[in-house]
Amino acid sequence: MYKDLNRIEQILFDVCALFLLLFYSYAAVVSPAATQYHRGIYVIITYVLVFLVYKSKSTLMRIVDYLLISASIVTLSYWIYNFEAINYRTGIETKLDTAIAMVGVLISIELARRVVGPVFVVIGVVMLTYGVYGDYAPDLFSHAGASFPELCVSIFYKSDGIFGIMANVLATYIILFVLFGAFLEKCGAQKFFIDFPLAAVGHKVGGPGKVAVIASGLFGSISGSAIANVVSTGAFTIPMMKKAGFKPHIAGGIEPAASIGGMFMPPIMGAGGFIMAELTGLPYSRIMLVALFPAFMYFFSVFVMVHYVAKKDGVIGEKSEHSAMEIFKKEWYYTIPLVTITIFMLYGYSPGYSAILGLISCIAISWVRKETRMGAKEFLEAARNGTESSLKIGATVGVIGIIIGVLTYSGLVLTFADIVIDLAGGSLVMTILLIALASLVLGMGVPVTAAYLITAVVAVPALTHLGVNELASHMIVYWLSQDSNITPPVCIAAFAGATIAKANMWKTAFSAFKFAKFLYLGPLLFGFVPGFSLDGSSTDIIKAFVFIFFGTWLYSYILSGIWIQTWLGFGKNKAA
């Protein structure tokens, strides 16, 4: 999309990309907490770049684009520079305050429409309608209602609206980690993430499928997007799986099933982990520790499933030219950025500060090999790629602010827990199933990170009311927010895998659904096994880990169907 811009627009984009990198790097070192300037400047730059990149086609509408850019700068700058004054006159806002708020809210809906599509427009309009006409809603959801200007003032200026949790986390952590991911890819680490598992397990039973699982785990934790993970690693692993003998729909299903696991894998966990830290008030290092074993079990379940499916179908990979140890000895330094980030966060440094150190280490290790050395041109390209990758999630800030702002204003946040508990009859299993359904429906139209944040605000109180600890409750919602990527009928990551594999989309989707079965088992374990989220004594935690490990192996073995072939004699194994 950057290449579609004219020269002046490209220069503006590059200036904004460099400013984002330098400003938020400086901010992460000097002030870990996001002020109104950090949030406001990030939102302004995001809005400007979205209207540049997702531009209209006709000349007349391009003029409208620049008018919207100007309006975005004016409204958001007004919020930044009048932040304290507006807070002091809460409830007695001026006519100018109100007009700015209304324009800002409407622009945020248009912004999301361009990037995410019409679904966000529908959600935004429905929520605004509910906010204004809440007194006409059924008794279960009714509230006093408000005038449209009054509602916009609340959404635009209050801390739980457009400049709320999502903007705060984006400006503090996510933008830096997205940029870090771009620099890590630029320094050549992605090749190591594929070459090493290829040499380690590529020649085993189902080797190419196992390579996809390991590579997706390594790359997925820093890509921030399951779809991006499928497209990047899948472009290599899916053809390799097909060549080895996996059926096209199986190869296309393994990659997305493995790719969504990157969202659970420390140290970065996509963007959801940072939002979780913000919502719970816990240090991110704690989030990482709790997420580690469940993430490992997710990949273990996919890995075991791949092994038995490959064994049943007689799929064996080819031996690599180099051993895993040889590759590791030559390219071990590519692990330095991830190790650096992990160590510094575990020692209590802020995620943003750790990301900066990781980014610097990417630049340093790029100079080990001549072909990957990062000069000024490569530095700019990495900053540009990272900035462009951040736009899709940044564009959702406004509508997410509308949703959460209306839910808070109407009081539905407080009553939703009671509604869910009543519908579920007080059953924790039914409550988790209802949350899974809500996440699936919401995830069909919005990015999974947005689906997590919106669902968490209303669903976590219901889970904690039923006795689940707060962090485990967030983990339940976060895991379930990923289901729309691989669960029919709308499963974009699975469809991306099917496209690369040139396979039937529905067969691929159901294959991904089968390989990712731990995605649906994990939330139940978070809800019913406290040790799964490190809640309890050391003995309880160790017992939980042991039983879950062997239970996952048995679960995967049964679902693979190889026991039918082995025990009942339907066919013979071709692979040893």
Is the same domain home to 247 and 174?
Answer: yes
Q: Output DSSP code: residue 203.
A: T
Is the same domain home to 220 and 83?
Answer: no
429 compared with 320, residue with greater pLDDT: 429
Q: Show the domain range for 487.
A: 413-568
Confidence band (pLDDT; 50, 70, 90) for 463?
Answer: very high
The tens digit of pLDDT for each residue in 502-517 reads 888 889 988 998 899 8
Domain boundary among 23, 57, 88: 88
* Mean per-residue pLDDT of the chain: 86
Residue 236 has pLDDT above 90, yes or no: no
Other Cβ atoms closer than 10 A to 425: 8
Which 3 state secondary structure label does DSSP give 205?
A: strand
Is the same domain home to 231 and 354?
Answer: yes
Examine residue 114 and state whether it is found in any structural domain, yes or no. no
- Give the Cα separation of 341 and 247 in Å (integer): 38
Domain boundary among 35, 58, 88: 88
Examine residue 557 and state whether it is found in any structural domain, yes or no. yes
DSSP 262-325: GGT-TTT-TTHHHHHHHHH---HHHHHHHHHHHHHHHHHHHHHHHHHHHHHHT-B-PPPSS-HH
Is the same domain home to 424 and 349?
Answer: no
The residues that bridge with 548 in the sheet, in sequence order, are none
Examine residue 225 and state whether it is found in any structural domain, yes or no. yes
Residue 378 has pLDDT above 90, yes or no: yes
Examine residue 294 and state whether it is found in any structural domain, yes or no. no
Residue 105 has pLDDT above 50, yes or no: yes
Is the same domain home to 237 and 367?
Answer: yes
Q: Output DSSP code: residue 139.
A: T
For 534-573, b/e burial (b = at least 16 CB within 10 A) is bbbeeeebeebbeebeeebeebbbebbebeebbeeeeeee
546 is written with which tokens?
Answer: 């042991």
Is the same domain home to 442 and 379?
Answer: no
Examine residue 495 and state whether it is found in any structural domain, yes or no. yes
258 is written with which tokens?
Answer: 């493995």
The residues that bridge with 205 in the sheet, in sequence order, are 316
pLDDT at 347: 84
Tell me the C-alpha to C-alpha distance, in Å, between residue 334 and each of 190, 194, 279, 503.
Answer: 9, 12, 32, 34
Confidence band (pLDDT; 50, 70, 90) for 575?
Answer: very low
Is the same domain home to 477 and 526?
Answer: yes
- Under a CB-based contact definition with an 8 Å cutoff, are residues 493 and 447 in contact? no
Residue 379 has pLDDT above 90, yes or no: yes
Mean pLDDT is highest, among 17-26, 159-168, 202-211, for: 17-26
* Total tally of structural domains belonging to the chain: 3
Domain boundary among 38, 68, 88: 88
* Reported pTM: 0.83
Which 3 state secondary structure label does DSSP give 491?
A: coil
The residues, ordered by sequence, that sit 6+ positions from 151 with a Cβ below 8 Å of its Cβ are 128, 131, 132, 406, 409
pLDDT at 297: 93
- Mean pLDDT value across residues 382-401: 87
